[in-house]
Amino acid sequence: MRSRLPALADRALLMLTRRIPAPRIVALGRGIAGAGVVLPLGLIGLVKFTQFEVDALRPLITATPWLAWLYPALGERGAAALLGIVEIATAALLTLSIWSPRAGLIGGSLAVLTFATTVSIMLAIPIWEEAAGGFPWINATGQFLLKDVALLGISLVVVGNSLARLTTDRRPRS
């Protein structure tokens, strides 16, 4: 049975690629990846205007030296609102990137900055579950922040694709 599994897998793969060509799968994946960045940014950006989120941000911002300045400068609600505005604007720009590489470059860059910042929070706060023995057991905060590594990668792809589109659009036509 073991020797038949690779042959069955090859046949299944061949059938799949005949029905759905690879470029279509890539396009579908890009669309889902884009939605996977835009939806959390937009929805979490909206939540930033609630007291629930203001309270949830407090331990993350106060424990992170490179973010703690937000509270003295803007207050808790002001800091949350700033983050919400940036996240909603980023989601809108990423949506517009379908038509505008310039919007993609700006939105992608804002998303890179956003997700690089949230990923960096893992350097400042404990993300290992001590009750379970620490590393590699990740706690709830670590689980929440860890997904942003993938979102950071997708954002970098948007920046790269947008740069490539801008470069192609600026080449002289013959």
pLDDT in tens, 80-93: 999 999 999 999 99
Segment 88-136, tens digit of pLDDT: 999 999 999 999 999 999 999 999 999 999 999 999 998 888 889 888 8
Q: What is the DSSP letter of 172?
A: P
Task: Please tell me the total number of residues recorded for the chain in this structure.
Answer: 174
The Cβ of residue 155 has, within 10 Å, a number of other Cβ atoms equal to: 26
Segment 25-83, tens digit of pLDDT: 889 999 999 999 999 999 999 999 999 999 999 999 999 999 999 999 999 999 999 99
Which whole number is the average pLDDT over 8-37?
86
What is residue 154's predicted lDDT score, i.e. its pLDDT? 96
* Domain coordinates in residue numbering, the chain: 23-170
Contacts of 119 (CB under 8 A, 6+ apart): 145, 148, 149, 152
What is residue 108's predicted lDDT score, i.e. its pLDDT? 98
Q: What is the pTM of this model?
A: 0.84
Contacts of 95 (CB under 8 A, 6+ apart): 38, 107
Confidence class of residue 23 from pLDDT cuts 50, 70 and 90?
confident
Question: Does residue 170 register a pLDDT over 90?
Answer: no
Helix, coil or strand: residue 3: coil
C-alpha to C-alpha distance for 111 and 96, rounded to whole angstroms: 14
Exposure letters 63-80 (e unless 16+ CB within 10 A, then b): ebeebeebeeeeebeebb
